[in-house]
Structure 1
């Protein structure tokens, strides 16, 4: 398969199991396409994304020893809606479609840039997916699972998954301070910085979705709010993505 044929893995996903399978296939194909060059931005991000999604699936299936969600149906639907936006972006990119969000285009266009580190590619993907896609995945999910205090609590529990995986992920991607003594002050500081960033950005995504959702029931106002947030979030994530790819050190 060519590097531009990842979309064969982006068919309809209906379950979290489907998401894990699709992400794993994209991660592996992108990595296999490498040979030379050695780094691929899609593979870097998808490797991280697969790890987190596998952990979410384990929690939904009840295999995690301590963590569970109160509303599995809500979390499963959100996971699928979230993944669909990444998969749709890959398909649009391979079709050379103008619908690719700018925040994804900056990563896709530079996926083979050997001057970009693994951690920068991964962070750029997280930026596009969380700072842009997540808001609209929430809105799609809320159509059948409206926001409640309990669902917000489940949503925030996903932050704990990132926190549990943070040390291994940072070492895997050779992030800033990851090479310091494991469990030492600097190592713990790097983990804490990354954890805080995840919690803050995921919280902002929920708040952006709420700004649109408050117009629910007024179709015109809802469409306008949706268009405003789409443009605002993509512009911000696009600009941040460009900076992330050039950043010398990331937490």
Structure 2
């Protein structure tokens, strides 16, 4: 009988799901490219939670897990019977396109996850914890600091060498058109807006739909096939 995997925190459970995806997806798959770098960052968040870096451990775990769950649910929803959010559809549709480079896949994943999922995860966490976004700001900032390493890891592992990355290269243009820092700031503003609209569900739903569509549009641009 196979030994069951033991989880000590909810973060361990989402890490396990990401590891399973990593094992199942080929190296060239666009979702696999993003999953590998996101897995490393989630493992780092888990390590920092275990070592007491986050003052409010419960809040940090809640936010991190709800954030990761949105990505995992979107990937698992990719099928004929369920449709992923608009922000994830470009990556899911172009994940095997031979003209899209690994760096583009990674940026498109970050764009979807931070530009859309992070704002909704903050609202989800506030509802679960019974608090307002302002009370999660420290945890948000600390998780955000770890996310910066996601961008750094992508640059180190996926960026072409200096001989290939010239000023006129379209990839250089794409890389300069998206900023993780700006995306984090926008996600925080969107979370506060959604929280303020929570008593107006119809308007909140419309705002969330527009956010999803806008992030999806940006993701489609990031995945523009480029010449070899």
**1:44·1:122 contact (CA, 8 Å) conserved in 2?**
yes
Which residue number corresponds to residue 30 of structure 1?
Answer: 25
Structure 1 gaps, min length 5: 1-13, 182-189
Equivalent residue number for residue 102 of structure 1: 86
Per-residue CA deviations over 1:87-125 (Å, capped at 9, x if unaligned) read 22122213x235321221111111111111111001111
Matched, 1:154 2:139: yes
d(CA) in 2 for partners of 1:162, 1:93:
25
| Number of residue pairs aligned between Structure 1 and Structure 2 | 207
Report the CA distance shift for 1:147/1:247 in structure 2 as closer, same or farther (over 3 A).
Answer: farther
CA distance in 1 between partners of 2:17 and 2:63 (Å): 16
Question: For 1:110 and 1:30, how far apart are their aligned partners in 2?
Answer: 15
2:12 alignment partner, one of 17, 24, 37: 17
Task: Give how far 1:243 is off.
Answer: 0.5
Of residues 75, 88, 113, the one that matches 2:60 is 75
1:38-187, aligned counterparts within 5 Å? 39-62=28-51, 68-94=53-79, 96-145=80-129, 146-147=131-132, 149=134, 151-164=136-149, 166-174=151-159, 179-180=161-162
Measure how far apart 1:247 and its partner are: 7.1
2:151 and 2:213 map into 1 onto residues whose CA distance is 28
Root mean square deviation, CA, Å:
2.6
Are 1:120 and 1:247, in contact at CA under 8 Å, matched by a contact in 2?
A: no
* CA-to-aligned-CA distance 1:53-78 (integer Å, 9 cap, x gap): 01100100108xxxx11111111111
Distance 1:164 1:246 in 2: 25
TM norm structure 2: 0.81
Higher relative contact order structure (alpha carbons within 8 Å, sequence separation ≥ 6): 2
Work out which of the residue numbers 179, 182, 193 in structure 2 matches 1:197: 179
167 and 80 in structure 1: CA distance in 2 versus 1, 3 angstrom threshold:
closer
Return the alpha-carbon distance in structure 2 between the equivalents of residues 59 and 98 of structure 1. Answer: 35
CA distance in 2, matches of 1:99, 1:108: 10
Could you say which residue in structure 1 is the equivalent of 2:168?
none
**Alignment gaps of 5+ in structure 2:** 1-8, 164-171
Q: Structure 1's 111 and 226: CA in aligned 2 closer, same or farther, altered over 3 A? A: same
Q: CA deviation at 1:180?
A: 4.6
Shift of residue 166, structure 1, vs aligned partner: 4.2
Contact 1:27 1:42 in 2 (8 A): no
* 1:242 and 2:204 correspond: no
Please tell me whether the aligned partners of residues 211 and 225 of structure 1 are also in contact (alpha carbons under 8 angstroms). no
